[in-house]
Structure 1
Amino acid sequence: MTDLTTEKSLASIEINNRLFFRLFQAANTLHTKGTQALDDFGVTTQQWSVLGALSRPQVEGGMSVNELSRYLLVSRQNLTGLLGRLERDGLIERSTGAEDRRERRVRLSEKGVALWQSLADPIHNFYDGALKGFSFDDRLAFIHYINLLQRNMSQL
């Protein structure tokens, strides 16, 4: 390799390391600061993600545990305990599938819907603060690149 090729290769390695380290830091900060934003509601960031997934209009009737697991990119095993706590707290309801009795469906309960609605302003304030300085176009581009990164990593 030429010196220029070696320099580019080393620069690429350094940039990659920095990028993934920053991504790791951002994920940790999201967990820490997100938890602080939700403390008054007694909701963890993991519960926030489940409630958010189940609050989408297209899943008003609920979704299977497998669908939720795929949507959140978490294992069924990790989701099981979380769903148990949400059900215990009356925030979700589980039922069996209409077509397949083995299927477990999950949806927000009335209490869960009310909690999600009360979280709307604090969550949007958190998002606005975290994305301060990002234009609308920056946000769209960021979504594009995060999606591309996630897709590439899932194919490894």
Structure 2
Amino acid sequence: MNQDESSSKQRLRLWLSLLRTTRSTEAELREFLRVEHDTTLPRFDVMAALYRVPQGLTMTELSRYLLVSNGNVTTVVDRLVLDGIAKREQQANDRRSLRVSLTEQGSAQFTQIASAHEAKVNQLFADFSSEDIEELLQLLKVHAHKETPHEKHGRA
């Protein structure tokens, strides 16, 4: 096997390892949120996005932020509104567009869940030293800044 083939196989192993790690970690977090907080990962993700932007987001902004379809976001937001966690408000400058934000109850609930979520993530990655984490972050940062063919054509 020549150097190019060896590097190619190594990159394939890297991809599979990253995918396996991501999937197993996500499965752990989904189960944790379900069992310990009676919530779902998509619901947590929507709440996190809205928490980071207190003035709220339009449904389009929210779906772009989360990299999911408007339909997926609408289903989660509908439930959050029904549960008193989020609210929808018409924008003064565009009556067709709604802005979604967390209610006081939603902010308080998110703060509590986010703290527990952070502790769980900390536990899941406890085997990594600060130096290991910084090195991994730097390596991933280099890769993340490469523009993919989909991004070049506006499809990502």
Common fold by TM > 0.5: yes
| Contact residue 93 and residue 109 of structure 1 kept, 8 A | yes
Change (3 A) 1:147 1:62: farther
**Partner SS for 2:49:** helix
**Partner SS for 2:2:** helix
- Which of residues 42, 49, 55 in structure 2 aligns to 1:46? 42
Per the normalisation by structure 1, the TM-score is 0.80
1:76-91 alignment runs, 5 A limit: 76-91=70-85
How many positions carry a matched residue from both structures? 149
Change (3 A) 1:90 1:77: same
Q: Deviations over 1:94-140 (max 9, x none)?
A: 11222211112111112211211221331121121122233445434
Residue 32 in 1 paired to residue 27 in 2?
A: yes
- Opposite residue 78 of structure 1, the aligned amino acid is N
| Contact residue 58 and residue 98 of structure 2 kept, 8 A | yes
Flag structure 1 segments of 5+ consecutive residues without an equivalent.
Answer: 1-5
Question: 1:148 and 1:86 mapped to 2: Cα distance?
Answer: 37
Among all aligned residue pairs of Structure 1 and Structure 2, give the percentage whose two residues are the same amino acid: 28
RMSD (Å) for aligned C-alpha atoms: 2.2
Question: 1:55 and 1:12 mapped to 2: Cα distance?
Answer: 42
Change (3 A) 1:85 1:22: farther
Per the normalisation by structure 2, the TM-score is 0.80
